[in-house]
Every structure is written in C-alpha cells, then in structure tokens.
Chain A
Amino acid sequence: MKAYPKYLLERVNLPGSHTLAVSRAHAGYSALESILKTGKKPEEVIAVVKDSGLRGRGGAGFPTGMKWSFMPDPAKDPRRRYLAVNADESEPGTCKDRVLMERDPHGLIEGTLIAAFAMRVQAAYIYVRGEYRLSYQRLELALQEARRAGLVGKNILGSDFSCDIWLHKGAGAYICGEETGLMESLEGKRGHPRPKPPFPAGFGLWGSPTTVNNVETLFNAPFIMNRGAEWFRSLGTKASTGNFLCGISGHVERPGVYELPFGVTAREILEECAGGVWKKRKLKAFFPGGSSTGLLPASAIDTPMDHDSVKAAGSMFGTAAMIMLDETACVVEASRVIARFYDHESCGQCSQCREGTQWLAQIFARIERGQGKREDIDLLVSLARGMAPGKTICALSDAAAIPTLAVVKHFRAELEEHVRLGRCPLRHESSGPGAPASMEEAHA
C-alpha cells in the first residue's frame, strides 16, 4: 500500500505516549510555546487555521478558522468566553477520538490551548462521554502534569495568556454530542438542544460566547501551527485538507482506526488498511461516515473519501466511520438496529422527531419480522421526508431520516422481498443477530 505521511497518530504507539515527558520529547507543546514566545497575535493564529482549510471532524465539516472568527471582539463584548471540546463521541461506528485521548492526551490539551488562545477564551471544558473511563483518566493525569509544568492555568509558560481546562463527564446520551445539547448538559440540565439562532458564538454556555469543537479538529491545530498552512493544504484535496482518522468496522478482516489523507478511495481503505471484506465474501453496502450517513451500495466503493466526493455519491462524509456490510448482511436488519437507536436517543422536544423515529423503528422491525405491509415502504419515505431536512431543532431527526431514505433508494427490492415472502430472504445465512422479540426488549 502507498505509505501516506502521518501526523495525528505519530506519537500514539510510543511507549508512555500519554505522558508529558514523551509528548514533549516528540514536539508536544512546541507549537504553543512558539506562539507564546514569538508573541503571535490571536488573529494571526486564526488566519493560519483559516488558510490551512481545516474543517471540523465532528461530522459537519464546518471550516474551523471561520468558526473561530465568529467569536465576538472582546474589546466590544467583555463577557467571559468559553471553548467546549466535544469528546462525546457517540455516533455509531465512530471510535477515533478515543484513540487520541487515551494515547495522546497532551496533543488534545495543546490543541485546546491553541484554540483558546486564538479565540481569547478564559476557560475550556472537555466534555468526555461517561463511558470513556480510560480517556478521562488519561486526560486527568495529563492535565495534572500540564498544570504543574505551567502549561495550563495562569500565565502559561510565563506569558500573559491564561486558560483553565476542566474535564466534564457526560452520562451516556447521544444527543449531548449535538453542540447545543452538549451546552445544556454541561450546565447541569437535560441535554435538550437549543433552537438556533442564537448561535453559540453569541449565546453559548451560560449565555456567553462559546465555540464547540471536536477532539480531532483541535488535535490538528498544533501541527498546522508548527508546519504551516501550506503543508496542511498539501495533504488531502482542495476542499478537504489534511489527514483524517477513519474508523472502519463491520464485516472486514482488520477493523481499526487508520490515518489517511482526504481523497483516498473507500476501496483503498477497505482493501489496503482493513484487509478487505472478511471471510472472502463480497461487499454489499457501506455507511461511509457513521450511522447517520446514507448507506451506499458496493458499486460506490471507488468514491474518494472527502466531503465533496461522498456528497456527490449521495451520502455524507460524517465522522469517516466506515461501517461495512458483506453480501450476507440484511439491510433491513441494519436499518432496524439504527432506527431503534435514533428512537431511543431522540430527546422528544420536536414532534416530527419524537414520533418519526418511533414509527421508523417500528416499521423496520415489522418488515424484518415478516409482518410488513406493502404500503410500509412508501410510508417510510413519507415519514422520513416529514422529518428532514431542517424541520426540527437539531439534526438528530435528519440523522434518522437520511439512512432511511438511502436504504429505500438503493435497496427497495430487498425491502419488498421481505414483505412479499413474509420473512428475511437472507436469514438462514445472515451473520447478523436475530431481532429482539419486542420493542420493549430492544430497549431493555
């Protein structure tokens, strides 16, 4: 396989990679140090990040430098300002931020500090999903070390830049990964997303200017500052620059988290990194970027993995969590598993989402059980159309609707076959699970 240069995972395999000593011996905190020692201005850092083309790795791919520049000018707006680091990683299929936090927590701390400096933020909160105990412990130790070394807290490295970083533990709700749900949760409330506008940069945590960034997004910042925007743009494609972490899971020989430049094809990741489809079987379909991104048929496997190309193929880059289904997989079953998840996770504020996710889950379950009606397939489509796009407070509703529309588009015949036969045509050789007998059991 072509060897691509790495930087995100450069340190993770070193012994003791989570310690300050190892991090510092391998350029850890050198970008921060150089910003502070050379007296760079916050605007200059934002300009470099803008110029690099870095886009958010949390799912939406929003340009990071631009997001940072939305924070109001502190001369005109003296309110306290916050950065919330989104370490809630809960999109099914996604398991990349965990690698960075467990194995290179100082890299995230440095990225967080650079973002805080650029946006003149006084406090940053890292919202870590509650189940990630090792990530939390490693970050806690790393923060202690960094505080002792004068890298976090007051007058960092003797400069007049001060920033506190606090860890905050979530408690297992997917919706708290949505940026406004995250803010509500951080404030000690239920994670009910807020209507936008107002946007977080104007009215975020405790009503103050706030930016929410994903772990991997911030992790890129020190490398960009050290090596320059031009270096970053030399990796990837014109519109999607740098490397990204791809978690590939499901029916493959070597599932894993791999670092690749944007624009490599899904086939290359499947075949070269993940060792191909398992058990010498053929590929049937794949989710390119997590469970919220529309399923693509095997014929789309030559799609380059970058935001524009995956969109042109009819899906979304999302979190680059590729979930691969082999020829024995039942797409109805996969859809049922995912629809049930969104039903479970809908916060219930919007009727389209609350009712829609429940209906989708029930309809997929009955089609899988062989009790589907012919009208059910059109019903799925009309329900999904009523749920998205942009009809609800947050995008969870879209996240449930999009894969539904995709599965009907690409696999209508298979859905119809389930209805016609009154059973799964693949069941006897499926390598997946059986359906739970009832919705109650599925949610137990």
Chain B
Amino acid sequence: MALSARLKAEFDELVTHYPERRAGLIPALHRCQEELGGWLSPQTLEDCAQFFGLDPVEVYGVATFYPMFRMTPPGQHTISVCHNISCALRGAEEVLAHVCRRTGAKPGGTSPDGQFSVLRVECQGACANAPMLDLDGTYHEDLDLAKVDQVLDLVAQSARAKQGATP
C-alpha cells in the first residue's frame, strides 16, 4: 500500500514550506494519524519513510519520541486526563478514577467494548481551568464529576444516534 493520492498531494504542498523535505515529517505523521484510524501502523510509517526518503527505522524513532503519536490502535474515543500539578491540586486523580470507572478502561488502556481509550497526559496548558480532560481533541475544562458525566453522556448519545442512523 502507499499513501492515498489525497495525502500525497497534501504532503507535496507541505514540504514546500521548508528548505528540507524532512521537516514535513511530524506534521505529516499527524495527518496520517488523523486520517488513518487514530494511530500509526507499521505500514503508515513505511509509507511516510518512502515519501520522505528516510529509513523506516528512522521514522519509527521519531514517531515513538512524541507522546501524541500512537503506535497501537486506540478505542473509538480517546480521553486524555491531565495529571500534572495544577490539575492534581484540583482533583485530577478523582476525575481520572471516575473516567476509568465509567468507561471501564484503565489508564493507558482501552475499555473492553473498544469504545474508550483513557490516557494520563502532562500539562495541557489549561492550568487556570483545572482539572481538565481532552476528548478526541476538544478540551473540557473546570471539571467536577458531574461535568465529567455530562461529557461522557454526550458521547454515548451521539454513538446511539449514529447507530440509529445506520440501518
């Protein structure tokens, strides 16, 4: 397999931003992860290596350095809970425990039904609105457990709506 024509066209433009092609690698890995199931498969890494003219091992070394890149397939939804100092002082561990209880996922793991991956993450720059979590790329801030419930209920609702929509 190779990169889709669309991603390839996108990356062809991306590399024009830089004097050296390789500089586009990390933004390109982001786009792959967004488009290709929320993780970087060995095949994707190989495709990127080919596009950038790099050794696959080199690309792997870069990808694994960065915590935002996932090397295994995540659940349908990813919930990242900040456990750093400002959030910890305002109940991050309670938020995390509650998220784990509700989803059935352990920190760093995925729920048995494959719906949720839960991650501990470092400071997300939302310290003045702590505690916080990030659900699929959107911040939810100033949390208490009731607010966590609301967020999770919304996800469940939209999942049901989707199921209802497909015959």
Interface residues of A (CB under 8 A from B): 80, 89-95, 97-98, 129-134, 164, 166, 168-174, 185-191, 206, 247-251, 255-257, 287, 291, 321, 323, 325, 329, 333-334, 337-338, 341, 344-345, 431-434, 441-444
B140 close to A (CB within 8 Å): no
Nearest B residue (CB) for A321: B127
- Per-position contact with A for B38-57: 1 when CB-CB < 8 Å, else 0? 00000000000000100000
21 A-B pairs with C-beta separation under 8 A: A90-B123, A91-B123, A92-B127, A95-B128, A130-B30, A133-B137, A166-B17, A170-B26, A170-B66, A171-B29, A171-B69, A188-B52, A189-B62, A190-B62, A191-B66, A291-B84, A337-B88, A341-B84, A341-B122, A432-B93, A444-B119
Q: How far, in angstroms, from A291 to B86 measured CA to CA in the complex?
A: 9
Residues of B within 8 A of A329 (CB): 89
Verify if B22 is at the interface (C-beta below 8 Å from A): yes
B77 at the A/B interface (Cβ < 8 Å)? Answer: no
Given contacts A170-B26, A325-B89, A129 and B125 within 8 Å (CB-CB): yes
Chain A residues with CB under 8 A of B109: 444
Pairwise interchain contact A190-B108, C-beta atoms closer than 8 A: no
The answer to whether B86 touches A250 (Cβ under 8 A) is yes
Q: How far is the CA of A255 from the CA of B119 in the complex (A)?
A: 25
Number of A-B contacts (CB under 8 A): 161
B125, A90: Cβ atoms under 8 Å?
A: yes
- Is A92 in contact with B85, judged by CB distance below 8 angstroms? yes
B68 engages A171 (CB within 8 Å): yes
| In contact, A95 and B85 (Cβ under 8 angstroms) | no
Bound-state CA distance A29–B39 (Å) is: 40
B111 to chain A, nearest CB (A): 15
In the complex, the answer to whether B89 meets A187 with C-beta atoms within 8 Å is no
Whether A93 lies near B93 (C-beta < 8 A) is: no
Q: Are A247 and B62 in contact (CB under 8 A)?
A: no
- B-side contacts of A98, CB under 8 Å: 125-126
Main secondary structure of the interface of B (DSSP, over half): mixed
B148 within 8 A of A: no
Say yes or no: is B106 at the interface (Cβ < 8 Å to chain A): yes
Q: Are A433 and B93 in contact (CB under 8 A)?
A: yes
Residues of chain B with a CB closer than 8 A to A133's CB: 137-138
B2-41 interface bits toward A, Cβ cutoff 8 Å, 1 = contact, 0 = none: 0000000000000001111011111101100000000000
Query: Are A130 and B68 CB-contacts (below 8 A) given A337-B85, A444-B107, A444-B108?
Result: yes
Least distance between B85 CB and chain A CB atoms (Å): 5
For B23, the chain A residues whose CB sits under 8 A away are 168, 186-188
Residue contact A90 to B122, C-beta cutoff 8 Å: yes
Convert B72-93 into 0s and 1s, putting 1 for each residue whose CB lies closer than 8 angstroms to a CB of A: 0000000000011110111111
Complex Cα spacing A344 to B86, Å: 17
Of A186, A189, A337, the residue contacting B84 (CB under 8 A) is A337
List the 7 closest A-B pairs by CB distance, nearest first: A433-B93, A444-B108, A171-B66, A172-B68, A188-B25, A249-B86, A188-B22
- Chain A contacts of B127 at CB under 8 A? 92-95, 247, 249, 255, 321, 323
Give the Cβ gap from A334 to chain B, nearest Cβ, in Å.
6
Point out the residues of chain A lying under 8 angstroms from B123, CB to CB. 90-94, 291, 341
Measured CB to CB, the closest approach of chain B to A294, in angstroms, equals 14
Report A-chain residues with C-beta under 8 Å of the C-beta of B120: 442-444
Q: Check B134 for interface membership: any CB of A closer than 8 A.
A: yes
> Quick one: given A91-B123, A92-B85, A323-B127, are A169 and B26 in contact (CB under 8 Å)?
yes
Asked whether A255 lies within 8 Å of B88 as measured between CB atoms, the reply is: no
- Closest residue of chain B to A247 (Cβ to Cβ) is B128
- Structural contact, B128 and A432, CB atoms closer than 8 A: no
Q: Which residues of A contact B91 (CB under 8 A)?
A: 431, 433
Select from chain B the residue with minimum beta-carbon distance to A345.
B122
Q: Give Cα distance in the complex from A334 to B93, angstroms.
A: 13
How many angstroms between the C-alpha atoms of A298 and B104 in the bound complex? 41
Q: How far is the CA of A329 from the CA of B52 in the complex (A)?
A: 50
- A90-B125, A344-B122, A433-B94 are contacts. A188–B26 as well, Cβ < 8 Å? yes
Contact A337 B83 (CB under 8 A): yes
- Pair B88/A172 contact, Cβ less than 8 Å: no
Nearest CB to that of A185 among chain B residues?
Answer: B26
How far, in angstroms, from A442 to B93 measured CA to CA in the complex? 11
From residue A372, how far is it (CB to closest CB) to chain B in Å? Answer: 20
Give chain A residues whose Cβ lies under 8 Å from the Cβ of B124. Answer: 131
Q: How far is the CB of B8 from chain A (nearest CB, A)?
A: 17
